Amino acid sequence: MREILGRRLQRLRDRFRSLRPAPGRVDAPPALLDAALTCATVRQWPVLPGVGRSASDGSRCACPDPDCVVPGAHPFDPGLLAATTDPRMVAWWWTRRPAAPVLLATGGTAPCAVSLPAGAAARALVRLDAQGLRLGPVVATPTRWSLLVAPYSLERLGELLYAKDHVPSSLRFHGEGGYLLLPPSAASSGGQVRWEREPGPDEELWLPDVEAVVDALVEASSGAPGGGSRLAY
């Protein structure tokens, strides 16, 4: 299966790189282009480019907000509603914005996610593994990890959280209308986004239900320094 997917991606890369370049266009780094095409064509995850960093000051976001708290790692132009699985659109974006982060538009038919501080997430994964729970992919930045879960509605999530005595504010839910930064993008906090647990080679990706993981994530976040109330990017 991995060999078949590799051949498919190579055909897509060759197809787009054979197009006549537009004036001033720069080829996207293969890792970013491959990641975006894999998400869009193999996994059928809608993606779009993040705003990226300022060309004049790499420490600042390219968006107009001088105090942006997630510099470079959020949608701007195009907006989130432009996320697509169309490989031609994906290739057009990344050949014109080669350093753009890869963003997954969560919810709908795409995966949702739950994110929490990195240390708390590592403890939660140990607990979930000990319970024998089958987990899906896990995305890691230097400060936060995100567990991909099956799509859920806001109503379903609200009912689930309402039953909890306490939900730490450092626990974040990426559902319908949300987004998630994917590898190998640059993290807003510095460093690279990586797969702590990579997606399998199968096109039918396994994702646990949010109910199966939320208790362990709430407990781990509550035990974080400061009670898990601070949101670290």
DSSP track, 172-222: EEE-TTEEEEETTSBPTTSSB-EEEEPPPSSSS-----HHHHHHHHHHHHH
User: Could you give the CA distance from residue 103 to residue 220 in angstroms, rounded to a whole number?
Assistant: 26
Return the SS3 of 98. coil
DSSP 147: E
- Return the sign of the alpha-carbon dihedral for residues 25, 31, 32, 36: positive
DSSP 61: B
pLDDT band at 7 (very low <50, low <70, confident <90, very high): low
For residues 27-38, give the mean pLDDT.
82
For residues 128-148, give the mean pLDDT.
96
For residues 29-34, give the mean pLDDT.
83
Mean pLDDT of the chain, nearest integer: 85
For residues 5-24, give the mean pLDDT.
52
Q: Which helix (H) or strand (E) holds 14?
A: helix 2-17
pLDDT band at 10 (very low <50, low <70, confident <90, very high): low
| Token couple for 16 | 């787009």
pLDDT for 38 beyond 70: yes
pLDDT band at 122 (very low <50, low <70, confident <90, very high): very high
Residue with tokens 């038919």: 109
| Token couple for 217 | 């994530």
Query: Which pLDDT score, from 0 to 100, does residue 15 have?
Result: 55
pLDDT for 232 beyond 80: no
Query: Which pLDDT score, from 0 to 100, does residue 227 have?
Result: 45
